[in-house]
Amino acid sequence: MAVLGIDLGATKVAAALFNEEGEILSRKQSYLEGRKGAEAGELVAATALSFFEQSDIKGIGVCVPGIVYSKRNTVWCPNIPGWEDFPLKETIEKVCPNVPVHIESDRTCYILGEKWKGVAKDCDNAIYIAVGSGIGAGILLDGRIIHGANDIVGATGWMALESDYDKDWDECGCFETFASGNGIAYQASKLFGREISSPEVFSLYESNDSKAVRVIEKAIQMWGKGAANLVSLFDPEMIVFGGGVFSGPAKKLIPRIYNEALKWGQPISMKNVKFLSSGISSDAALLGAGYSVLY
Amino acid sequence: MAVLGIDLGATKVAAALFNEEGEILSRKQSYLEGRKGAEAGELVAATALSFFEQSDIKGIGVCVPGIVYSKRNTVWCPNIPGWEDFPLKETIEKVCPNVPVHIESDRTCYILGEKWKGVAKDCDNAIYIAVGSGIGAGILLDGRIIHGANDIVGATGWMALESDYDKDWDECGCFETFASGNGIAYQASKLFGREISSPEVFSLYESNDSKAVRVIEKAIQMWGKGAANLVSLFDPEMIVFGGGVFSGPAKKLIPRIYNEALKWGQPISMKNVKFLSSGISSDAALLGAGYSVLY
């Protein structure tokens, strides 16, 4: 039987039908086109339903960019107006009855994707650190996905990694303000005295621009300290670096990040852990959504 | 039916028989008196066996000050020579057949004790941060005790909480070198230019000695940052402060630690979490060992 994975982005609904080995059988995309509230939910449900003609479907997994309230089965997605506490699971179940529907956050789907088809295949303890506009982590611990009291486990970007507090971090947290894509752009913009994007900072870093070097070297130190803390606290087999920043130019910095982490982290755990880049490219969320049905 | 809890300390074996409500039915202590290797294991087993005359026993839980290798069922206890990889479970099972034997680390037992009879009774997500000579954490997450890849989850003392690395932290980690009992004594000894114990530092702090104030204020900041990181990463309902340091003079600093943490941690999780002192006194490990049978 097949499983259906749906990845809800900021503007589109990507869906794929997988066999139980994680191979894609067919794909489809719909566009939100400004839909909000119940209308956006109905688009997701209709996208799911359209696959039922082709195949027997074992279950539906949906990846959402936000928080999944696991006790109430509702979601908060800041990108979709009216989705502060939206009953997405119920909306899909009404349209596609008799199949289980799983809703998971994007960071949970990333680590599930790695577990199914990426570098974490044989792992029971692995952390995916997603460095994009923000920083978050999907955590597989003792073979299970963890959620926490408010379903916001892994709020990695908020880690305290500096000696004294700075008001500058109020909005996004200490780690994130230095080491997310937006954080790198922010630090560089202050230093260059003009708006500058994180890809531009990386390309200036490649050409040894001293200001860009300062920003990226600081980010490397922060990634090292942040990853070390994940290792000391969770004792995982691997840390997988992914997200926009690590699908690009930061990937080759991973060995330097490991060396920084080695100074700080619990020595036994650090000796045994691997730091890797994501083994799956753009389909991580879709794969993870699909695998949430089988997991 | 009763459960038997055994707390293996540096010099003695404390044991208690509990009813299923966690009330102590009887107690016993034996002394290691220099026993090592198999002999020390046999003392634990004989202590356990001696309770079987009195009562029907449902299971035995043992708290050890070290690492429990959950896959091999062996333990590493640095205090007992020859216990680098000692088969404690098997040793007890040979002498007390037909009852389940659970071996757990001290930090796991602390949080289990709080769950059974302390402040974490109704919690599925709670962290016990044990601040004694070192710093470690027992973690209850989504209703389960977590272990990690090498059974050393919660190595909290190794957290990176400062801007730049200092060789000073090589042996025990950044957090621990400032904020454990030994860490407080170490920082104060450097400042005072003489050997000084952590209780002495606290009593000088009470009388407003400027050097002691510096050491304890730094520890408060570190506890705040460390606890904030536990909150952002694990999203617990509560952080329980325990261990030697928090059973004494540090207990009243908890509201100040919360205020420091509030600056750093994920705001939703920080708003919802409680910072508390341990609800059970000297019997935390014994209670946790007993509860490991029922849990």
Residue of A nearest to B172 (CA): A266
Phi and psi based region of residue B17 (left: phi greater than 0; alpha: psi -120 to 50; beta: remaining): beta
Nearest-angstrom CA–CA distance, B157 and B134: 7
Asked if pLDDT for residue A55 goes beyond 90, the answer is: no
Say yes or no: A270 and A196 in one domain: yes
Structure tokens at B183: 């860490």
Going by pLDDT thresholds of 50, 70 and 90, the confidence category of residue A127 is: very high
The structure tokens 């230095």 sit at A178
3-state SS assignment for residue A228:
helix
- Assess if residue A143 is contained within a domain: yes
Averaged confidence pLDDT in chain B: 96
User: Dihedral sign, CA of B284, B286, B290, B295?
Assistant: positive
Say yes or no: B141 and B269 in one domain: yes
Say yes or no: B272 and B144 in one domain: yes
Say yes or no: A185 and A233 in one domain: yes
Say yes or no: A175 and A156 in one domain: yes
For strand A12-18 and strand A74-76, is the pairing parallel, antiparallel, or unpaired? unpaired
Model pLDDT, residue A199: 97
Tell me the backbone φ, ψ of residue B143, rounded to 5 degrees.
Answer: 85, 0
Cβ A268–B237 below 8 Å, yes or no?
no
User: For A148, which of B221, B225, B235 is closest by C-beta distance?
Assistant: B235
Nearest-angstrom CA–CA distance, A200 and B270: 35
Nearest-angstrom CA–CA distance, B9 and B286: 11
CA B270 to chain centre: 23
- Assess if residue B115 is contained within a domain: no
Q: Which of A198, A219, A199, A211 is nearest to A129 (CA)?
A: A219
Amino acid in position A32: L
First to last CA, chain A: 15
Chain B residues touching residue A237 (CB < 8 angstroms): 149
The predicted model gives A113-141 an average pLDDT of 96
Residue of A nearest to B269 (CA): A150
Domain coverage including residue A72: 2-110+283-294
Averaged confidence pLDDT in chain A: 96
What pLDDT tens digit does each residue of chain B (295 aa) get?
A: 899 999 998 889 999 999 999 999 999 999 999 999 999 999 999 999 999 988 899 999 999 999 999 989 999 998 899 999 999 999 999 999 899 999 999 999 999 999 999 999 999 999 999 999 999 999 999 999 999 999 999 999 999 999 999 999 999 999 999 999 999 999 999 999 999 999 999 999 999 999 999 999 999 999 999 999 999 999 999 999 999 999 988 999 999 999 999 999 999 999 999 999 998 877 889 999 999 999 8
CATH number at B70 reads: 3.30.420.40
Label residue A162 exposed, middle or buried (CB < 10 Å: 0-12, 13-18, 19+).
buried
The predicted model gives A25-54 an average pLDDT of 94
Q: Which of B56, B57, B142, B151 is nearest to B103 (CA)?
A: B151
* CB proximity list for B285: less than 8 A, separation 6 or greater: B7, B63, B106, B109, B110, B113
CA A52 to chain centre: 28
User: For A146, which of B142, B162, B273 is closest by C-beta distance?
Assistant: B142
Q: Which of B122, B75, B84 is nearest to B102 (CA)?
A: B75
Asked if pLDDT for residue A295 goes beyond 90, the answer is: no
- Assess if residue A13 is contained within a domain: yes
Say yes or no: A251 and A290 in one domain: no
Least confident of A42-51, A52-61, A217-226: A52-61
Distance from A175 to chain B by nearest Cα, in Å? 10
Say yes or no: B99 and B176 in one domain: no
First to last CA, chain B: 15
* CB proximity list for A125: less than 8 A, separation 6 or greater: A140, A141, A142, A143, A234, A235, A236, A237, B148, B149
Say yes or no: A144 and A199 in one domain: yes
Say yes or no: A254 and A140 in one domain: yes
Structure tokens at B23: 């009330």
The predicted model gives A58-75 an average pLDDT of 95
The predicted model gives A200-226 an average pLDDT of 98
Nearest-angstrom CA–CA distance, B286 and B117: 11
Count of A–B CB contacts within 8 Å?
A: 152
Q: What percent of chain A has pLDDT over 70?
A: 100
Model pLDDT, residue A237: 98
Nearest-angstrom CA–CA distance, A250 and A145: 27
Chain B residues touching residue A144 (CB < 8 angstroms): 142, 144
Model pLDDT, residue B63: 97
- Assess if residue A53 is contained within a domain: yes
Say yes or no: A68 and A125 in one domain: no
Model pLDDT, residue A178: 98
> What would you report as the CA-atom Rg of chain B, rounded to the nearest whole angstrom?
20
Asked if pLDDT for residue A281 goes beyond 80, the answer is: no
Listed in sequence order, the DSSP H helices in B63-122 are 88-95, 106-117
Q: How many domains does chain B have?
A: 2
Model pLDDT, residue B173: 98
For strand A2-8 and strand B144-145, is the pairing parallel, antiparallel, or unpaired? unpaired
ipTM: 0.95
Model pLDDT, residue A53: 86
Specify whether the CB–CB gap between B133 and B117 falls below 8 A: no
Chain A residues touching residue B149 (CB < 8 angstroms): 124-125, 235-237, 269, 272-273
CA B29 to chain centre: 20
Nearest-angstrom CA–CA distance, A77 and A111: 20
Phi and psi based region of residue A200 (left: phi greater than 0; alpha: psi -120 to 50; beta: remaining): alpha
3-class SS letters over A91-151? HHHHHCCCCCEEEEEHHHHHHHHHHHHCCCCCCCCEEEEEECCCEEEEEEECCEECCCCCC
Amino acid in position A271: K
Nearest-angstrom CA–CA distance, A73 and B234: 20
Label residue B53 exposed, middle or buried (CB < 10 Å: 0-12, 13-18, 19+).
exposed
User: For A229, which of B151, B160, B169 is closest by C-beta distance?
Assistant: B160
- Assess if residue B210 is contained within a domain: yes
Chain B residues touching residue A164 (CB < 8 angstroms): 221
Structure tokens at B150: 């090498």
Specify whether the CB–CB gap between A94 and A88 falls below 8 A: no
- Assess if residue B116 is contained within a domain: no
- Assess if residue A115 is contained within a domain: no
Cβ A161–B165 below 8 Å, yes or no?
no
Cβ A233–B154 below 8 Å, yes or no?
yes
Cβ B173–A232 below 8 Å, yes or no?
yes
Say yes or no: B168 and B272 in one domain: yes
Cβ B228–A160 below 8 Å, yes or no?
yes
Say yes or no: B256 and B289 in one domain: no
